Amino acid sequence: MNPVILAIESSCDDTSAAVMVGGEIRSNVVATQQVHEQYGGVVPELASRAHQQHLIPVVEAALQKAGITKQELDVVAFTQGPGLLGSLLVGGMFAKTLALALGKPLIAVNHMRAHILAHFIEAPRPVFPFLCLTVSGGHTQLVVVRSALDMEIIGQTIDDAAGEAFDKTAKLLGLPYPGGPHLDKLARQGNPTRFQFPVGAMPGYDFSFSGLKTAVLYFLKKETAQNPNFVQENLADLCASIQHTIIQTLLRQLRRAAHDQGLTQIALAGGVAANSGLRQALQEEADTQGWQVFIPAFQYCTDNAGMVAMTAQFQYEAGDFADQFVSSDPRLKLG
């Protein structure tokens, strides 16, 4: 089936629109909101306002880049949740209104499912069933993916997400928001075993990262009381050691889950998949375990409408449409 799909993503602080034609991405436009930088985190009300400003130009740019007119669309898809309610409402109301005005069907997409199905946008694509580790600023999940529409969360964070662990520890080191990419860059010059931080030990396949943040906070307080320049003098080693701890926490649960589930195709999704240390450690682990690893191109790892379009394509084929009364849901479950 070759539908022409317009997809809208507005769950957090990226406004994005993509056009997919017959399963191929024709455009994927993302406007990232800079306004949150000065606050050191996403401010929900400002995110909603910025979505309102960006959405129409982003949609127009995506249509133009794809060489598609509104009249040529077969379906309008949008992120229903999970995410920030105000942000979701902006994209959702726009998508519903456009679909109604054009007389076209609507598809409501789960954001976490979309992160996983981003793996199907470009080759190499995993084959069902596979295990996906989704690591973003808001989520950390281990998911058994049996088909495009049949997924089971077998492990998740009980407190902070992996991206949050990067961002919050980076903030303690005085790095700008979001700190993950800065910490990654500095870690490349550092010694990952110089400082030891606790690895959140959880039963089963769950994760916990809040202990790391507290451990780093108290460690820095103690050291800077003796040497006020401790952070500046040891920045690369601190970054490398923190990153190493986060990666080991992720890999330990991933290893256990892959072994128990008997799965050897391992997919990595979400913004933290950009982390160079994680990519390298996962590849090394794969070589040892005999896994095949899949990581989407960077533009499909961070929040983007391309992954929403891909998911909509699968839902279109399954006849999974929404009506105009469908509600945005900040806590929408994957399943």
Give the interface with ligand KG4 as residue ranges (CB under 6 A). Answer: 12, 136-138, 163, 166-167, 178, 180-181, 184, 270-272, 274-275, 302-303
Pairing of strands 140-147, 150-156: antiparallel
Q: Are 143 and 334 in contact (CB under 8 A)?
A: yes
Which C-beta is closer to Zn ion: that of 16 or that of 241? 16
- Which does residue 302 bind out of ligand KG4, Zn ion, none, counting CB within 5 to 8 angstroms by kind? ligand KG4
Which C-beta is closer to ligand KG4: that of 42 or that of 107? 42
C-alpha span between 296 and 126 (Å, rounded): 11
Which C-beta is closer to ligand KG4: that of 136 or that of 313? 136
Which C-beta is closer to ligand KG4: that of 155 or that of 180? 180
- Which does residue 199 bind out of ligand KG4, Zn ion, none, counting CB within 5 to 8 angstroms by kind? none
Name the residue number minimizing CB distance to ligand KG4: 271
Which C-beta is closer to Zn ion: that of 234 or that of 311? 311
- Which does residue 192 bind out of Zn ion, ligand KG4, none, counting CB within 5 to 8 angstroms by kind? none
C-alpha span between 305 and 59 (Å, rounded): 10
State in angstroms the smallest separation of the CB of 270 from Zn ion: 6
Q: What is the DSSP letter of 332?
A: P
CB atoms within 10 A of CB 149: 16
Identify the three-state secondary structure at position 213.
helix
Q: What are phi and psi of 228, to 5 degrees?
A: -60, -20
State in angstroms the smallest separation of the CB of 63 from ligand KG4: 24
- Which does residue 86 bind out of ligand KG4, Zn ion, none, counting CB within 5 to 8 angstroms by kind? none
| Residue whose C-alpha is closest to residue 278's, from 302, 300, 304, 249 | 249
- Which does residue 3 bind out of ligand KG4, Zn ion, none, counting CB within 5 to 8 angstroms by kind? none
| Residue whose C-alpha is closest to residue 276's, from 184, 189, 186, 190 | 184
State in angstroms the smallest separation of the CB of 183 from ligand KG4: 6
Pairing of strands 24-32, 150-156: unpaired
| Residue whose C-alpha is closest to residue 192's, from 134, 275, 136 | 275
State in angstroms the smallest separation of the CB of 124 from Zn ion: 22
State in angstroms the smallest separation of the CB of 227 from ligand KG4: 27
The residues binding Zn ion (CB under 5 A) are 136, 303
Which C-beta is closer to ligand KG4: that of 166 or that of 316? 166
State in angstroms the smallest separation of the CB of 191 from Zn ion: 32
State in angstroms the smallest separation of the CB of 170 from ligand KG4: 8
Which C-beta is closer to ligand KG4: that of 178 or that of 192? 178
Torsion of CA 255, 200, 294, 134, to 10 degrees: 130
C-alpha span between 165 and 199 (Å, rounded): 12
Which C-beta is closer to ligand KG4: that of 21 or that of 272? 272
DSSP string, 58-109: HHHHHHHHHT--GGG-SEEEEEEESS-HHHHHHHHHHHHHHHHHHT--EEEE
Residue whose structure tokens are 């993302």? 30
- Which does residue 137 bind out of ligand KG4, Zn ion, none, counting CB within 5 to 8 angstroms by kind? ligand KG4
State in angstroms the smallest separation of the CB of 6 from ligand KG4: 21
- Which does residue 178 bind out of ligand KG4, Zn ion, none, counting CB within 5 to 8 angstroms by kind? ligand KG4
